[in-house]
Every structure is written in structure tokens, then in C-alpha cells.
């Protein structure tokens, strides 16, 4: 049942791209392109997603989805849009997207065909930050889910479909200061066997070659367990006795 539902959702998801493509100025611009254009115009550089999140959650609510605001802060905005209220506790098919986009510096803006937050519709495309990563995906998901709203209203389906739209700050800078003390003497023309720059290069190279163990949180472990159930992971690896073994074995390969 759930595999069939996911397959139908994927068909609608990709059909949204195919049927609503437009290629020249005489073509009618589809509603999906206008929606994406408006969404892009709400610049949502990481840490400033609230206005874009309010816009997209309002679109979802107007279409008839059950919308739940999970977090509403100036620097972070998370919401879900579902066929049924989350409190019903139905098994959930989740279509995840993120609201934030990377910044566009003034120097980089000179290289753009169109301004990065203009949402310009031209040449059969919607141009702007987030058109692909990840606002375009969000628009595709909500339009695919919309095709099931009437069915969900008429039929008590055994599952829910939920689109979480989240703020994500997944890349941050980590500045490290490396201080070395090397007591030696010599002349620049005849350097000693050991000197600070040489030792610093060795230290940095050791960091690059270090094989760190990958660590998964319990949330990530649960994700792999559920994927294993859906894809038949345990049946393909018969020596694994339980979900914990499956997760631990996966980690050991990384």
C-alpha cells in the first residue's frame, strides 16, 4: 500500500515538471512557475527565512492543507503541511524541503544573468536563488500533494502525506588557530632539519589524512532502520540479527 502511494506521488511530482514546461515567450506561463517566482522573491538567506516561510505556509493553508507552525522566530521558521492533521498519528509519507538559500555577494551578482532574488521568468525557466535548491522542490512537492487533497477529504486513507519546510543552517565556518613552538636556530639559506613551517605542514597533513569515525545520531539511525524495512535491507543481509546490528554494520563500512 505505502510503496504504491509513494510511486503515485513520485509520478505526480515529476509530471509537474513535464506537463508544465514552457519553452518560448509565446507559451503560457504555468501557475507553478508563477508560484516559484513569487517564492524566490522572498529572499531567505540562511538566518532570514521567516518571511519566505510565512509566504509558503500561507500558500499551503490556502490550498487546503493542514498547516502546523513548528517554529516561528526571526532567524528560523519551520512548518508542516499535511493531508491530515499530524495529531491523527497516521503513518506518514514525508516530502522534505528547506526554505533557506545561500547568500549572493555583490561581486557574484555581477555574474548573474538575472538578479538572484528577482524570480525572473525568461527563456523557459524561472531564474533565482533557490529555483533548484530547494524552493523549486518545495513547489513541486506541494503541487503533487495537492492532487490528493480531494481524495483525502472523501476517503479516510490509511496514511498521511506531510511536507516539512524547514530552516537549515548546515554549513558553518570553523576557524582554528595552530600554535607551534620549535626551539632551534640557523640561517634562512641553510635551514635546520626541523623548523616551524615544516612542522605545521606535517601537522596539517596529518589532519587531512585522519580517518574519522562517522557518528550517527539516534534520529539518523532511525532513518536507516526505516529505509531498511522499506527496501528489504535486512533480508538482503541475513546475518544481521536486529535493527541495531544493521545500523552498526552500516556505520562500520563508512
* Tens digit of each residue's pLDDT (9 = 90 or more) over 205-230: 998 888 888 888 887 788 777 777 76
pTM: 0.65
Would you state the pLDDT for residue 253?
40
Q: Would the pLDDT of 96 be above 70?
A: yes
* Other beta carbons within 10 Å of 40: 25
Structure-block grid coordinates of residue 243: 535493527
Would you state the pLDDT for residue 254?
39
Q: Are 167 and 99 in contact (CB under 8 A)?
A: yes
* Tens digit of each residue's pLDDT (9 = 90 or more) over 191-203: 788 888 888 899 8
Where exactly are the structural domains of the chain? 2-166, 218-253
Structure-block grid coordinates of residue 63: 490550498
Q: How far is it, in rounded angstroms, from Cα 136 to Cα 32? A: 9
Q: Are 86 and 162 in contact (CB under 8 A)?
A: yes
Terminal CA-CA length for the chain: 33
* Tens digit of each residue's pLDDT (9 = 90 or more) over 55-85: 999 999 999 999 999 999 888 899 999 999 9
Q: Which of 48, 22, 34 is nearest to 119 (CA)?
A: 34
- CATH architecture of the domain 2-166 equals 3-Layer(aba) Sandwich (3.40)
Total residues belonging to the chain: 254
SS3 of 165, please?
A: strand
Average pLDDT of the residues of the chain: 81
Amino acid at each position: 500500500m505505502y510503496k504504491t502511494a509513494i510511486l503515485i506521488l513520485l509520478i505526480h511530482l515529476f509530471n509537474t515538471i513535464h506537463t508544465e514546461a514552457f519553452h518560448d515567450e509565446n507559451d503560457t506561463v504555468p501557475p507553478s512557475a508563477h508560484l516559484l517566482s513569487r517564492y524566490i522573491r522572498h529572499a531567505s538567506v540562511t538566518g532570514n527565512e521567516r518571511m519566505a516561510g510565512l509566504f509558503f505556509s500561507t500558500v499551503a493553508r490556502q490550498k487546503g492543507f493542514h498547516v502546523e507552525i513548528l517554529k516561528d522566530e526571526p532567524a528560523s521558521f519551520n512548518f508542516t503541511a499535511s493531508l491530515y492533521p499530524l495529531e491523527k498519528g497516521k503513518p506518514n509519507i514525508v516530502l522534505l524541503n528547506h526554505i533557506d538559500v545561500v547568500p549572493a555577494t555583490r561581486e557574484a551578482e555581477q555574474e548573474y544573468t538575472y538578479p538572484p532574488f528577482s524570480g525572473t521568468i525568461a527563456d523557459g525557466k524561472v531564474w533565482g536563488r533557490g529555483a533548484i535548491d530547494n524552493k523549486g522542490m518545495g513547489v513541486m512537492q506541494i503541487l503533487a500533494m495537492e492532487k490528493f487533497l480531494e481524495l483525502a477529504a472523501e476517503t479516510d486513507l490509511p496514511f498521511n502525506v506531510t511536507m516539512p519546510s524547514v530552516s537549515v543552517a548546515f554549513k558553518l565556518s570553523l576557524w582554528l588557530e595552530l600554535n607551534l613552538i620549535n626551539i632551534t636556530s640557523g640561517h634562512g639559506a641553510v635551514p635546520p632539519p626541523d623548523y616551524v613551517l615544516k612542522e605545521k605542514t606535517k601537522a596539517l597533513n596529518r589532519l587531512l589524512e585522519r580517518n574519522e569515525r562517522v557518528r550517527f545520531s539516534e534520529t539518523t539511525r532511525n532513518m536507516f532502520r526505516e529505509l531498511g524495512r522499506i527496501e528489504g535491507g535486512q533480508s538482503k543481509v541475513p546475518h544481521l540479527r536486529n535493527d541495531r546490528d544493521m545500523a552498526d554494520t552500516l556505520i562500520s563500512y563508512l
